[in-house]
Amino acid sequence: MSNTFQCSVITPQSVCLREQGTYASFQAFDGQKGVMPGASPFLTRLGAGIFTLTTASGSKTLLLDGGCAQMQGDELTLLADTALTLDAIDPKKSEEELQHANAKAISGGTSASARAASERAQQLAYAKVAAGRSRGSRN
């Protein structure tokens, strides 16, 4: 058994990352998921959150939102709706987005689709705030 696995992060616009890793962590729709070499096959939906890939030379971090993740053999593929580097996230703007999303959720519509859209906006805004804070602690 190899001590690494191939990891790819792909969006509709580009291949954001394709590297060998020793550990990956990402937000699935139902919670945080960690992957090591030899992991059992799976297919899951992605949530909004921080993705980290540990490699032999360090780690790579992205903010992912939506899509799916599949582990098959020694290959982890994340097909994300969006992927942002931590440098692309403005912490102040992210805080404002979170405040706006929270206010909208409180005063939002009563339909299930309106609530779902409000919750998704909150999750993404919170993930951006957390990613901005994570970036700040690394500088």
Asked whether the predicted pLDDT for residue 131 surpasses 60, the reply is: yes
Specify the number of domains making up the chain.
Answer: 2
pLDDT at position 108 is: 62
- 41 and 77 part of one domain: yes
Task: Determine the structural domain holding residue 64 and report its residue range.
Answer: 5-86
For tokens 């994570």, the residue is 134
Most confident of 21-25, 26-30, 81-85, 99-103: 21-25
For tokens 């706006």, the residue is 100
Pairing label, strands 42-45, 49-55 = unpaired
Question: 83-123, pLDDT tens digit by residue?
Answer: 998 888 887 888 888 888 888 777 766 677 777 777 777 88
First to last CA, the chain: 36
> Of 53, 71, 86, which residue is a domain's last?
86
- 50 and 9 part of one domain: yes
Question: 32-57, pLDDT tens digit by residue?
Answer: 999 999 999 999 999 999 999 999 99
- 20 and 62 part of one domain: yes
Token pair for 84 = 């942002």
- 13 and 73 part of one domain: yes
Confidence of residue 137 (pLDDT cuts 50, 70, 90): low
Asked whether the predicted pLDDT for residue 133 surpasses 90, the reply is: no
